[in-house]
């Protein structure tokens, strides 16, 4: 019950709202929200296991709903995908992430930002070039952005996806295989796409110390990442024990509630300072 309360609190008073939980948002409401730019990125740190330092964050979409409050993506991402509106969300996330990058840089902080891309976007010819052009125009070097490939279905148009992903990688952007070990985030994809980072799904991470089987899968994922020359990120690090285990196993980065929850751009520096002090 404590954990549940924490989880609800992390989404603000809003999550208490029935509507936010039941996710009954209409198409009109979602279209209007995109137009009014009610979606924004929250940022969650990825901490280096070696020394606890934080140089990277993941941008996670939130909907600042006028009545329901801050709504988590579980309640709208699939709907946006279904309506063919995910591109618009991705674009707004990219623009606001670039703005956050510049605001932090102006305060002397440099973070590498990971943005989640939808596979349906990557099927469009020229999609990578739009991103490359936009970030170059913003004066942000490619080493400061990583794209996480999240998917729930197999790639239907592999040649176009591959072309876009290869373009991004060749320009120097990072490419991350998200939720590794689940669904379609598989060995087959690893072999075809020029990834630079492997993100181990939290089902293999949270509480891993308690399960021999989970520890074995974790170890083999880390071994694979190492052999392929990919950096490794474990998601869902919730306790000091999870952290200690991953550190012992030689994982590169950890992301999870143990370090910090996703934060607004303005709150991120404070959250990082609190983590670094402990
Ligand atoms: P994801 O990319 O796997 O992101 C990690 C999710 O795990 C986030 O949920 C994050 O808040 C949550 N998380 C982080 N640390 C912990 C922890 O220690 N324990 C537990 N139990 N959970 C943790 P969130 O923000 O609700 O996002 C859910 C999913 O929505 C994301 O999963 C991603 O697939 C999708 N998503 C979020 N933002 C975007 C976006 O801008 N575009 C697209 N296409 N998908 C997005
Ligand atoms: Ca992700
Ligand atoms: Ca993930
Ligand atoms: Ca996921």
For residue 117, which ligand has an atom nearest its CA? 1
Is the beta carbon of 76 within 6 A of some atom in ligand 1? no
Tell me: pLDDT of 152 over 90. Answer: no
d(CA 51, CA 66): 40
pLDDT greater at residue 91 or residue 3: 91
Q: Which of 18-22, 57-61, 206-210 has the lowest mean pLDDT?
A: 18-22
pLDDT at 189: 81
Give per-residue burial for 181-209: e unless 16+ CB within 10 Å, then b.
Answer: beeebeeebbeebebbbbbbbbebbbebe
pLDDT at 187: 79
Percent pLDDT > 70 in the chain is: 89
Give per-residue burial for 12-42: e unless 16+ CB within 10 Å, then b.
Answer: bebbebeebbeeebeeeebeebbeeebbbbb
Q: What is the DSSP string of 5-33?
A: HHHHHHT-GGGGSHHHHHT---HHHHHHH
Q: Which residues contact 244 (CB under 8 A, 6 or more apart)?
A: 209
Indicate the pTM of the whole model.
0.92
Rounded to the nearest angstrom, the distance between the alpha carbon of 150 and the centre of ligand 4 is: 6
Stretch 180-201: mean pLDDT: 85
pLDDT at 16: 42
pLDDT at 8: 52
Ligand 1 pocket test, pick from 47, 93, 116 with the greatest ligand atom count within 8 Å of Cβ, gives 116
Ligand 1 pocket test, pick from 6, 23, 60, 242 with the greatest ligand atom count within 8 Å of Cβ, gives 60
The helix (run of H) or strand (run of E) holding residue 225 is helix 212-227
Tell me: pLDDT of 12 over 50. Answer: no
pLDDT at 13: 45
Tell me: pLDDT of 170 over 70. Answer: yes
pLDDT tens per residue, range 217-230: 999 999 999 999 99
């Amino acid at each position: 019950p404590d954990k549940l309360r924490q989880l609800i609190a992390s989404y603000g008073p809003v999550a208490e709202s029935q509507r936010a939980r039941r996710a009954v948002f209409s198409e009109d409401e979602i279209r209007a929200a995109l137009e009014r730019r009610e979606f924004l990125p929250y940022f969650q740190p990825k901490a280096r296991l070696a020394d606890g330092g934080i140089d990277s964050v993941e941008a996670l979409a939130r909907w600042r709903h006028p009545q329901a409050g801050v709504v988590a993506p579980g309640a709208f991402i699939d709907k946006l995908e279904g309506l063919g509106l995910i591109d618009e969300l991705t674009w707004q996330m990219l623009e606001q992430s670039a703005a956050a990058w510049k605001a932090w840089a102006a305060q002397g902080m440099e973070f590498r930002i990971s943005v989640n891309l939808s596979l349906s976007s990557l099927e469009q010819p020229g999609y990578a070039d739009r991103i490359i052009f936009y970030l170059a125009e913003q004066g942000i070097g490619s080493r400061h952005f990583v794209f996480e490939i999240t998917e729930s279905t197999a790639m239907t148009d592999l040649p176009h996806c591959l072309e876009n992903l290869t373009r991004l990688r060749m320009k120097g952007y990072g490419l991350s295989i998200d939720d590794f070990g689940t669904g379609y985030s598989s060995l087959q994809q690893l072999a075809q796409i020029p990834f630079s980072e492997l993100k181990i799904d939290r089902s293999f991470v949270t509480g891993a110390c308690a399960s021999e089987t989970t520890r074995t899968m974790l170890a083999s994922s880390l071994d694979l990442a190492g052999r392929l020359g990919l950096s490794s990120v474990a998601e869902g690090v919730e306790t000091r024990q999870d952290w200690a285990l991953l550190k012992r196993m030689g994982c590169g980065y950890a992301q999870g509630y143990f370090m910090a929850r996703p934060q607004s751009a303005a709150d991120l520096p404070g959250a990082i300072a609190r983590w670094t002090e402990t």
